[in-house]
Structure 1
Amino acid sequence: MKVGLLSFAHTHALSYATLLRDMGDIELLTTDPDADGQPARPGHPRGRELADQLGVAYADSYEDLFAWRPDAVIVAAENTRHRALVEMAALHGADVLCEKPLATTLADAQAMIEVCRGAGVRLAVAHPVRFSPSYAAARAAVREGRLGKVLAVRGANYGRLDDTPRPWFSDPALAGGGALMDHTVHIADLLDDLLDGARATDVYAQTNRLLDPNAATETAGVVTVSYDNGTHATIDCSWSQPRTHPRWGDVEIQIVGEKATVELTAFGQLVSGYDEKNQRPSVHPWGTDLDLSLLRTFLHGPAADGIDLPDGQAGMRTLKIVLAGYESARTSDLTRIL
């Protein structure tokens, strides 16, 4: 199978390139032409230099990559550039795995869904946390009725403002927002899957820049979501980890049901200690590679547990929550999702 990787902008692109490179049944071609107009970051190359470091094939332009006729592509560009690349892929008949969020406007998301539907290609959104063993166990407990009716969910997606290697993350013109755009989608997507058909109806959110007053975007936020089945959820989407913290972040969820409460940590498979030589804490993950599970599902279909990637419509539903959150934060009022 021939797979194209469109852009190295997103931090996950490095993981995707490495994993695809080592798959025996995959031919990989990468391209990152948008990097040419961005400032170089010492120690954080992009474009052909990064491709050479990773040992992967490289094309100079998106057109050159599509002339290679890929079967599928992964869009790992800046958020506001997703639409153009998804449309290009659809017109060339390639299935698409698009980084989250699917888009930054509802018009772009709808256009992406329609062009893929019209071309008869698959559109999936890259949400790796669905493949965490702890989430799979919690999902099974909910689906089997062991928790009873889900009354409330508390979710938190901690992280940090990671704009040293990728400055576009805090550039509203390329990211479409800040912490609310970046981190709400992870929990919102899990809720979309967990609640199995329930739809978000109302959103209330507050955001601020207290964690980094000089940032161009919000760096912290709390989003409250109500669903049409009576479930209520809160999402802490803040970039609240210190820049020197040994871990980038985490996804934590507490699910409160009529019969039981379940708590999970999506990235809890860790060995932690202290690095005396460098005089700092040290954390080493082990266990399931969520990106690998995500790629295998995209390329070969869902595993035996039935967990699949969200499609374009699911991506649209999570985006509606994000955009309603921005409207609520702007007006300091509850926002209805139509």
Structure 2
Amino acid sequence: MQQLKIGMISFAHGHANSYLQALVSIPEVKVAGIADENRDRVAKQTEHHGIPYYADYRELLKTDIEAVVICSENVHHLEHITEAARAGKHVLCEKPLCLSVQEMEEAIRVCSENGVQLMTAFPCRYLPAVVRAKEAVDRGDIGEIVAIKGTNRGSMPGRWFIEPGLSGGGALLDHTVHVMDLMNWFTGSRVTEVYAYAATRFHEDLAVDDTGMISVKFENGVFGVLDTSWSRPKAFPTWGDVTMEVIGTKGVLSIDGFAQSNELYSDEIGKGVWAYWGDSMDHYMVKGFVEALLEETPVPITGTDGLRSTEVALAGYESVSRGQPVPL
């Protein structure tokens, strides 16, 4: 059996833990190293799975791994992607891909020039409700798409996410990209105009925005609106939601990405708990990355996909600054 050696760079983003669980569950994968400048952050994972630890990610890149999964703070994505590509390693990078259009174009270029694949981590494409809705759209069940209304409302994540020097932005950046990628995927079109609102309304003394609304026009005439706010309280059962209402000429599709759950409310626990019984979107996304590398086929979600969604969020901040729509 062919085995793919994969390393992980940074566990700064919490998604790294579920990505690791996905990797170790795939027989064709060997997790050959974890690099993180904070050893305590990954000690439990490296010890439990017997994975070599590297304090410097560059030392990991010197090994014979074939690919890396990057879950560092947003500001470090370009550096980590670039160094991995130059070392000949394929890349799966957490969203947002980078913090400017120029950075994302550079990341895509460097990977292409070094003959490695770049995949953006958009696991929401693998939510069962999203997959079935995309199939329905492709079959023409609702006719031509006219508009999409979406939400990616979450809880304020704290930590480095609220430090502009590390995150590059607040809720508008953090929560635009997932559902905007789905809108791009469903429409098969590019955004041509962005109008946005962002502010800090739910949490005092934040250095970034925690409230966002973004409206877009697509090249094919579809228009969309998305609530990206960190509006969920600490007591909410999960970090947020992923919903879309897709309006077509022949019908409407309502999508609730996290509907596959059992709900428990207990005074002893102090907050609601959602126990998921559905398929793991992270597992299927990581599996898609692995299968593409083993079969030498294009990765299912490219760096360009990451660029197309993140550029909308960045244009949103420009729209907020100008107080008017911004062309893309």
The question of a shared fold, defined as TM-score above 0.5 by the shorter chain, is answered with: yes
1:50 CA drift (Å): 4.9
Tell whether the 8 Å contact from 2:211 to 2:228 is kept in structure 1 after alignment. yes
2:169: which partner in 1? 177
1:16: which partner in 2? 19
CA change 1:209–1:55 in 2 (3 A) is farther
TM-score (norm 2): 0.93
1:327: which partner in 2? 318
User: Which ranges in structure 2 are unaligned for 5 or more consecutive residues?
Assistant: none
CA change 1:287–1:55 in 2 (3 A) is farther
Q: How does 1:124-203 map to 2 (within 5 A)?
A: 124-163=119-158, 167-196=159-188, 198-203=189-194
CA distance in 1, matches of 2:299, 2:231: 30
Is 1:278 the equivalent of 2:269?
A: yes
1:255 CA drift (Å): 0.3
Is 1:250 the equivalent of 2:250?
A: no
2:90: which partner in 1? 95
User: Which ranges in structure 1 are unaligned for 5 or more consecutive residues?
Assistant: 37-44
1:279 CA drift (Å): 4.3
Alignment: residue pair count:
321
Q: How does 1:37-116 map to 2 (within 5 A)?
A: 45-48=40-43, 50-52=45-47, 55-116=50-111
Deviation digits for residues 312-334 of structure 1 (CA, Å, limit 9, x no counterpart): 11211112111110000111111
CA distance in 1, matches of 2:36, 2:131: 37
1:61 CA drift (Å): 1.5
CA distance in 1, matches of 2:51, 2:27: 14
Is 1:7 the equivalent of 2:2?
A: no
Tell whether the 8 Å contact from 2:119 to 2:299 is kept in structure 1 after alignment. no
Which deviates the most, 52-61 or 290-299? 52-61
1:19 CA drift (Å): 2.3
1:53 CA drift (Å): 5.2
CA distance in 1, matches of 2:129, 2:299: 16
Give the aligned residue type for 2:151: A
1:35 CA drift (Å): 3.1
Which deviates the most, 199-208 or 54-63? 54-63
Give the aligned residue type for 2:52: A
Q: Residue 38 of structure 2: SS of its match in structure 1?
A: helix
Is 1:29 the equivalent of 2:57?
A: no
CA distance in 1, matches of 2:20, 2:131: 26
1:237: which partner in 2? 228
CA distance in 2, matches of 1:49, 1:282: 25
Give the aligned residue type for 1:146: D
Is 1:207 the equivalent of 2:198?
A: yes
Tell whether the 8 Å contact from 1:203 to 1:325 is kept in structure 2 after alignment. yes
CA distance in 1, matches of 2:127, 2:180: 15
CA distance in 1, matches of 2:78, 2:33: 18
1:224 CA drift (Å): 0.0
Tell whether the 8 Å contact from 1:29 to 1:59 is kept in structure 2 after alignment. no
TM-score (norm 1): 0.91
1:80 CA drift (Å): 1.0
CA distance in 1, matches of 2:306, 2:272: 36
CA distance in 2, matches of 1:179, 1:211: 11
Residue of 211, 216, 220 corresponding to 1:225: 216
Give the root-mean-square deviation of aligned CA atoms: 1.8
1:83 CA drift (Å): 0.6
Which deviates the most, 142-151 or 291-300? 142-151
Q: Residue 158 of structure 1: SS of its match in structure 2?
A: coil
Tell whether the 8 Å contact from 2:26 to 2:287 is kept in structure 1 after alignment. no
